[in-house]
A and B are shown apart, each in its own frame.
Chain A
C-alpha cells in the first residue's frame, strides 16, 4: 500500500480547506443572525418575491434556505412555515425555488476550492430558480 500516505495527505489537505470555510462561515452567521437588518429585509425583497408567486410571510424561510441551506436552516424553515400557516401553493413554490437554489454560499465556496467556477454555478441556479418558480406560479393560480 505505497499509495496510502499521499492519499491520507490529500485527505487531510481537503479537510483543512473545509474547516477553513465552515468554521468562519458558521461563526459569522451566529454573530450576524440577530441583527434587525435581517428581519426588516422582507420589505425590500417583497416586490421581487411577488414575481415568483410568494408573499412576505415566506421571506424568512426563503432567505434562510437560500443562504444557509435546507438541512441547516431546517429549524427556521419549519417553525416559520407552521407559525405563519403558509398555504400549500406557497409552500410548493418556496420548495421549488429552494430545491433549485439553496445554501448558495457554502455550496459554491466548497466547489471553488476544488477548482470550479462559482459565478457560473450561481448564475445558472438563481436564473433557473426564478424561471421555474415564476412559471409554476403562473400555472398554479392562487384561489
Chain B
C-alpha cells in the first residue's frame, strides 16, 4: 500500500524463488514498519482520549452525520484518518472504540472505497485519468455503498429472524 515503486520492474528479469521470497519478506517488513509507526501512536492516543470527555463531546458533534450510516459519532475520527492517511491508521482508531460487527463492516466498506485520497488521487491523475473527479466520486460512492449496506444488513437481520422463527415453529 505504501510502496508505490516495488511493482515497477515486473517484466525486466525474473529472479529465482529464494530471491523473490527474500524480496517479499523485506518489502513486507518495511511496509509493516511504516504502517506501525502511524498506527501505534494513533491507537494509544484514541485509547487515552476515551478516558476523557473529549472524544464523547466531539463524537456528539458528528453523531447526526455518522448516524445516517448507522455509525456512532466517534467513527468520524476513523474517517478522517482513512481519508487523509490509510486504512491502517483508520483501523488503529476503530479498534479501541469497540464497535459492533455491523459498524466495523460498515467502516470497512466505506473506507475501503474512500481512503488515502491525497496519494491515490495523485496516482490516478498520473495515468491520465481525471484524479480530482474520481476522488469526489469515491467519497460519493462510499456514501451510496454505506446506505446500501445499512439497508441490506437490516433486511438480512429481518430475514434471519424470520427463518429462526419458522424453524422454531416446525
Contact = CB atoms under 8 A, between A and B. Distances in A.
Nearest to A28: B24
B144 A30 contact: no
A96 interface: yes
B44 A70 contact: no
Contacts, number: 217
Contacts of A117: 101-102, 104-105
B164 interface: no
Interface in A3-56: 3-4, 6-8, 10-12, 14-15, 18-19, 22-31, 33-34
B162 interface: no
B14 interface: yes
A30 B44 contact: no
A78 B92 CA distance: 30
B127 A81 contact: yes
Interface in B37-54: 39-40, 43-44, 47-48, 51
A91 B128 contact: yes
A94 interface: yes
A16 B127 CA distance: 35
Nearest to B109: A121
Nearest to B37: A15
Contacts of B87: 107, 110-111
A15 to B, nearest CB: 5
Contacts of A27: 21, 24-25, 28
Given A70-B120, A91-B127, A79 B44 contact: no
Given A18-B88, A121-B105, A121-B109, A103 B29 contact: no
A26 B21 CA distance: 9
A101 B113 CA distance: 7
Interface of B: 1-10, 14, 17, 20-21, 23-25, 27-29, 31-32, 35-36, 39-40, 43-44, 47-48, 51, 86-88, 91-92, 94-96, 99, 101-102, 104-105, 107-109, 112-113, 116, 119-120, 123-124, 126-130, 134, 137-138, 141, 144-145, 148-149, 152-153
19 contacts: A8-B40, A10-B47, A11-B92, A12-B40, A14-B91, A19-B36, A22-B28, A26-B31, A31-B21, A71-B86, A86-B127, A94-B129, A95-B124, A95-B134, A106-B1, A114-B104, A115-B101, A117-B101, A124-B109
